[in-house]
């Protein structure tokens, strides 16, 4: 796998308008087409950035830049989807703030590739994220490759992804939804549309038409070499005649979309489609076997889904029973806690009543204390008055005693002493 490009100039000018966005649903021939354009001079990135070939799936390489794959996966994840799950994309979704970091990462990637010359990328996920890239590359050229949806779905449903298979019906649905989302952003009048049948059956004139429409500077020798290297009969594992495709019980919207795209696929495909198809019994038997195999795989997938659903239901029933037990236990706990709460409420009411009683008692005691303080003050005053009276009485007694002593010592008292004795003797006073 070579990624040679024109020599870079000393002062490169970033020209994103040189970009070629290669579009197509999964298993529609995008790898073949991208390899053809790469040989014609379209730069895809450094070799180490390209997905390596996988022998059992795509031995000639995917020709996809892993950095575009990673950004597309993150965009789809941020919008609630994946490569096989088409997300709901509201109007203006590409400007959502959740994509701001990815937008800057994408700008850096585009600037690293757009230094000079023709460059481009392919990733089937871009069918779902095209609007995002158009906001960064409004002048980019677009190339869409179309394949019979039944062929693409058969091929996709045979590829394991992380040990599981996408069903044939899911593969058909993904083909339709991918194109529906892409066409919301894609102007088919300015988009180059090709068909895998035209590339495999008329490779040189079809590749010449593509490079001319895209204004890619590739000469006849490059075109011839590209077709010789890339176009091999072994690349087509599922070739479904139109009569078989149109007879299958598939959503009519799939055929309507396919016919619309076929009408845009150019004259080389028109000539290919006009050739009468001839299939012998062996070819039809092999084709029937592939279709039946796809149906049986879908049936087996559905059986597995039903079995998984039954197991899941049993698991859910067990979980429900467990939750019922937990609920009963919690209900009993709730009842117990409610009873405890009622008891505590009653205790609180009792404590409140006791507190009210104690507050009343305290008020009464405060009144008693006030009364007693008044009584104490009165008694203290009376005691002080009695002490003062006693003191005065003592003073008077002392003065009287002193007076008596003075009288007894006086001359008149001693002179009248016999007279007082006589009075006492005969009943007189003192």
Average pLDDT over residues 278-284: 54
Torsion of CA 104, 106, 107, 112, to 10 degrees: 130
| pLDDT of 193 | 97
Least confident of 63-67, 221-225, 299-303, 330-334: 299-303
Cα 102 to Cα 74: distance, rounded to the nearest angstrom: 8
Parallel/antiparallel/unpaired status of strands 141-146 and 119-122 = unpaired
Q: How many residues are there in the chain?
A: 430
Check whether 237 has a pLDDT greater than 90: no
Tokens of 36: 């053809």
The SS3 assignment for 164 reads: strand
Backbone angles phi, psi at 59, to 5 degrees: -65, -25
pLDDT band at residue 277 under the 50/70/90 scheme: low
SS3 content of the chain, % helix, strand, coil (to 5): 65, 5, 25
No. of helices (H) and no. of strands (E), the chain: 15, 6
| pLDDT of 14 | 40
Which of 172, 186, 171, 169 minimizes the C-alpha distance to 129? 186
Check whether 278 has a pLDDT greater than 80: no
Cα 251 to Cα 260: distance, rounded to the nearest angstrom: 15
- 42-88, pLDDT tens digit by residue? 999 999 999 998 877 788 889 999 999 999 999 999 999 999 999 99
Cα 409 to Cα 430: distance, rounded to the nearest angstrom: 17
Contact by Cβ (8 Å): 242, 277: yes
* Helix extents (H) in 79-219: 100-113, 126-136, 149-157, 168-185, 196-201, 203-214
Check whether 379 has a pLDDT greater than 80: yes
Contact by Cβ (8 Å): 294, 244: no
Check whether 16 has a pLDDT greater than 80: no
CA 165 centroid distance within chain: 26
Average pLDDT over residues 122-145: 96
For all residues of the chain together, what is the average pLDDT? 85
Cα 315 to Cα 308: distance, rounded to the nearest angstrom: 10
Check whether 10 has a pLDDT greater than 50: no
Check whether 105 has a pLDDT greater than 70: yes
The SS3 assignment for 15 reads: coil
Contact by Cβ (8 Å): 41, 207: no
| pLDDT of 316 | 78
CA 233 centroid distance within chain: 45
CA angle centred on 294, ends 290 and 297, rounded to 5°: 135
Average pLDDT over residues 334-354: 90
| pLDDT of 276 | 43
Cα 4 to Cα 16: distance, rounded to the nearest angstrom: 19
| pLDDT of 59 | 82
Cα 326 to Cα 215: distance, rounded to the nearest angstrom: 71
- Non-local (6+) Cβ contacts of 251 within 8 A are 172, 173, 176
pLDDT band at residue 116 under the 50/70/90 scheme: low
Contact by Cβ (8 Å): 93, 83: no
CA 263 centroid distance within chain: 41
pTM of full prediction above 0.75 = no
* Helix extents (H) in 6-78: 30-39, 66-78
Average pLDDT over residues 371-387: 89
Cα 409 to Cα 415: distance, rounded to the nearest angstrom: 10
Which of 220, 44, 54 minimizes the C-alpha distance to 121? 44
CA angle centred on 52, ends 61 and 136, rounded to 5°: 85
């Amino acid at each position: 796998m070579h990624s040679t490009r024109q020599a870079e100039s000393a002062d490169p000018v970033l020209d994103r308008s040189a970009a070629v966005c290669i579009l197509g649903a999964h298993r529609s021939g995008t790898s073949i087409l991208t390899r053809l354009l790469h040989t014609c001079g379209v730069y895809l990135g450094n070799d180490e950035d390209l997905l390596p070939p996988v022998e059992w799936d795509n031995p000639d390489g995917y020709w996809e830049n892993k950095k575009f794959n990673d950004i597309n996966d993150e965009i789809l994840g941020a919008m609630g989807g994946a490569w096989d799950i088409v997300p709901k994309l509201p109007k203006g979704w590409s400007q959502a703030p959740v994509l701001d970091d990815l937008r800057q990462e994408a700008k850096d990637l585009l600037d690293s590739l757009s230094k000079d010359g023709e460059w481009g990328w392919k990733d089937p996920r871009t069918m779902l994220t095209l609007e995002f890239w158009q906001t960064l590359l409004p002048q980019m050229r677009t190339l869409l490759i179309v394949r019979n949806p039944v062929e693409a779905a058969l091929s996709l449903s045979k590829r394991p992804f992380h040990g599981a298979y996408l069903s044939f019906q899911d593969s058909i649905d993904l083909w339709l939804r991918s194109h529906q989302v892409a066409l919301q952003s894609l102007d088919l009048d300015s988009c180059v549309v090709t068909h895998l049948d035209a590339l495999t059956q008329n490779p040189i004139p079809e590749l010449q038409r593509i490079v001319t429409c895209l204004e890619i500077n590739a000469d006849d020798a490059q075109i011839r070499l590209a077709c010789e290297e890339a176009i091999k009969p072994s690349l087509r594992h599922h070739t479904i005649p139109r009569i078989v495709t149109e007879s299958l019980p598939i959503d009519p919207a799939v055929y309507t979309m396919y016919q619309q795209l076929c009408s845009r696929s150019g004259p080389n495909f028109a000539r290919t489609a006009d050739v009468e198809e001839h299939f012998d019994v062996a070819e039809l038997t092999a084709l029937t076997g592939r279709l039946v195999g796809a149906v049986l795989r879908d049936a087996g997938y559905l059986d597995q889904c039903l079995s998984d659903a039954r197991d899941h239901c049993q698991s859910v029933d067990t979980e429900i029973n467990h939750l019922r037990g937990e609920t009963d236990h919690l209900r009993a706990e709730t009842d117990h806690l409610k009873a405890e709460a009622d008891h505590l409420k009653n205790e609180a009411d009792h404590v409140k009543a006791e507190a009210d009683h104690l507050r009343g008692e305290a008020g009464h005691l405060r009144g008693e204390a006030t009364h007693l303080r008044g009584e104490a003050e009165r008694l203290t005053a009376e005691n002080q008055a009695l002490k003062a009276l006693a003191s005065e009485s003592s003073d008077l007694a002392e003065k009287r005693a002193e007076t008596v002593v003075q009288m007894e010592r006086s001359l008149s008292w001693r002179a009248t002493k016999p007279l007082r004795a006589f009075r006492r003797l005969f009943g007189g006073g003192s």
